[in-house]
Amino acid sequence: MSPGSGKTVALFATCINDTMKPSIPIATVTVLERLGCRVVYPPRQTCCGQIMTNTGYWKEALPTVRNYVSSFGDYDYVVGPSGSCVGSVRHQHEMLARHAGDEPLAEDAKAVASRSYELSEFLIDVLGVTDVGAYFPHRVTYHPTCHSIRVAKVGDRPLRLLRAVGGIELLDLPGAEQCCGFGGTFSIKNPDVSIAMATDKARNVTSTGAEYLVAGDQACLMNIGGVLHRDHEPVRTIHLAEILASTEENPR
């Protein structure tokens, strides 16, 4: 199967995955290459900047807008394993440039944003596949992260991909649409509320009896997973890309 043949994809690893969870972008490369894409990794890249943007530091976020444009501007497809980061690029980069009075940058940002995809969007909308040949025989529950559904607007694409995974048993997560409480710097500025929300989310996860919690954003997985681990719960977190990368020949 080679729906990706002829396509060059620039990988947007995201700063959090790059630094804290390289297994996720590695898994993303695996999946894309398995489907026939040529994957490149522009090393200049850094970050979508939302931790600056969403804390109100728009001037400080501007270098990330320039960096994204210069790292990815030459590519037809930019794919990132994060609804939150891709969402921020698409929703906020043009605005940041315009706010700074840099019209040419705003136009460039708009253009590259329109070619930026979250992983599940790319697989389903561009490659046209739902079954990526994955195999993951475990009980799994899925958390639709807020920014992936409300900013990147990925809809049910991650679920459709998960349903096609061989051997998987998908369990519904109660209160799935409720926020996990991370919210970037919210977890630092309002730690009590953040912890209350993360605790409720973790409890819902445990109630499913799943072995794994899957999501499209590592930040949320770190948040919920961190609570689960502190509470000595056996549920483990895993990223969507990692499940999709797992095959019978090379199981996760």
Partner 1 sequence: MSATMERRTPEPGTWLGIPEFPKAAKVGLANAQLRKNLAHATTTIRAKRVVRASEVPDWEELRTAAAQIKDRVGRHLDTYLLQAEAAMTAAGITVHWARDAADANRIVADIAKAKGVDEVVKIKSMVTQEIDLNEALEAEGIAAWETDLAELIVQLGHDLPSHILVPAIHRNRREVREIFVEEMGRYGTPAPEGISDNPPELAEAARVHLREKFLRAEMAVSGGNFIVAETGTLVIVESEGNGRMCLTLPKTLVSVVGIEKIVPTIEDLEVFLKLLPRSSTGERMNPYTSLWTGVTDGDGPQDLHVVLLDNGRSRVLSDPTGRAALRCIRCSACLNICPVYERVGGHAYGSPYPGPIGAILGPQLRGLEDARDRALPFASTLCGACNDVCPVKIPFTDILVHLRNKVVEYKTADHATGEQALMKTAAWVMSDGKHLAEAQLATRAAGGVFGKRWLGKLPIPIASRWLRARDVEAPPTQTFRQWWKKNREGEGR
Nearer to partner 1, 69 or 168 (CB): 69
Pick the closer one to partner 1 by CB: 75 or 122.
75
Between CA 213 and CA 221 the distance in angstroms is 8
Nearer to partner 1, 218 or 247 (CB): 218
Q: How far is the CB of 143 from partner 1 (least distance, A)?
A: 12
> Which residue, 116 or 194, has its beta carbon nearer to partner 1?
194
CA proximity to 61, closest of 87, 95, 90: 95
Instruction: Give the dihedral sign, CA 136/86/72/25.
Output: negative
| Helix (H) or strand (E) segment spanning residue 79 | strand 77-80
Residue tagged 């200049």 (tokens):
44
Rounded to a whole number of angstroms, the minimum distance from the CB of residue 122 to partner 1 is 18
Query: Please, what is the minimum distance in Å from the beta carbon of residue 49 to partner 1?
Result: 6
- Tell me the residue ranges of DSSP E strands in 111-209: 116-118, 139-142, 169-171
Closest to 54 in 3D by CA, of 219, 201, 177, 214? 219
Nearer to partner 1, 144 or 168 (CB): 144
Q: How far is the CB of 94 from partner 1 (least distance, A)?
A: 13
Nearest C-alpha neighbor of 143 from the set 154, 132, 131: 154
Q: How far is the CB of 169 from partner 1 (least distance, A)?
A: 26
